[in-house]
Amino acid sequence: MTAGRFRAAIFLALVFFAGCDRAPEKNTVTGRAGETITLPKAINTIISTAPSNSEIIVGLGLGGKIIAADEFSARIDGINKGITLIDFSYPDGETIITLNPDIIIAAEHNRTVSGDDPFRLMGEAGIPVVYIPTSGSIEGIYGDIRFIAGLLGAGEKGEALVAGMKAEIGAVAQKSAGITERKSVYIELSPPPYIVSLGRKTYLHEMAETIGADNIFADQEGWFSPSAEAVISRNPDVIITFFDDLGTFTADLKARPGFEHIGAVRDNRVFRLDANSASRPSQNIVLALKQMARAVYPEIYEAP
């Protein structure tokens, strides 16, 4: 038998025996995308393949149950050090099946990056696989937290996590209610040659509205690539990015043809949000929200 056939035989055996070892007692739930998922009665071991989901699990006090995760999740405080690392887009099925987790909690972009369902074989082995779609609103993030909490038998903790978020977001919104001269904001996620920004139906757009600011691309929807001319013509008061090196990003803005006429560039009103908190739809968006508020309206929102 060739080495390749031997590995294939071992993998199929792992699939078979992992399926045999699953606990017979199950329950069925409906996933966030409407799919039917069969779960074991108790979930004690978790593989999490996206940092947003991992942050929610940690927020529920269950980070110790994560036995394997993507490399970004593995850096999150509250997750045990030395856990098995899983490739974000191309997970090793043999490794996962050998670990025999009670559940895999994945994200929708795990599937879209690879162009296929990277966890299909694991599902066929009897391991429940749950995909969490990327939420386009703060309310959607509340739903993600409640759903994951329900999966893991932590419904009360999930409600407490959501209640805490609502209280903090509500406090920001209360301050923004008195703003009469709203500032315009441009959020840039990726620089040239392929600029990426966002419009409605994204939680970052909703965050800008919450602090009392106007997204210059509120007439657009989702994530998209605006032209440089569109940014210049809309002349934002403030520019926000996630780039670690704010100095380099600001210098790049000033070097772009025509950008010297933008008020935010001319007045050095360019700010950075914590990339993890801003880009991961979890309870931690509250940190990015407060940073955005202080950047746009420092005279209204107090420093921490």
Q: Where are the domains of the chain?
A: 9-134, 179-296
Residues, the chain: 304
Please tell me which of 35-39, 69-73, 164-168 the model is most confident about, judged by mean pLDDT. Answer: 164-168
DSSP state of 75: G
- What ranges in the chain are assigned the alpha helix state H? 3-21, 51-59, 93-99, 108-114, 120-124, 138-151, 155-176, 203-210, 228-234, 246-255, 263-266, 275-279, 285-296
Residue 28 has pLDDT above 90, yes or no: no
- The predicted-structure confidence for 93-147, as pLDDT tens digits, reads as follows 888 888 999 999 988 777 766 567 788 888 888 889 999 988 999 999 999 999 9
Residue 6 has pLDDT above 60, yes or no: no
CATH number of 9-134: 3.40.50.1980
Say what angle helices 285-296 and 155-176 make with each other, to 10 degrees: 10
Neighbours of 237 (CB within 10 A): 19
> For the whole model, what pTM was predicted?
0.87
Give pLDDT, residue 187.
97
- The predicted-structure confidence for 271-294, as pLDDT tens digits, reads as follows 999 999 999 999 999 999 999 999
The amino acid that residue 288 corresponds to is A
Q: Are 104 and 128 in contact (CB under 8 A)?
A: yes
Asked if domains 9-134 and 179-296 share a fold, the reply is yes
Structure tokens at 20: 């045999």
Tokens 């934002």 found at: 236
Structure tokens at 107: 């994200």
Give pLDDT, residue 26.
66
CA distance 152 to 255: 50
Nearest to 55 by CA among 151, 140, 180, 141: 141
CA distance 192 to 2: 49
Is 179-296 assigned to CATH 3.40.50.1980? Answer: yes
Residue 9 has pLDDT above 70, yes or no: no
Give pLDDT, residue 112.
64
Of residues 11 and 159, more confidence is placed in: 159
CA distance 19 to 22: 6
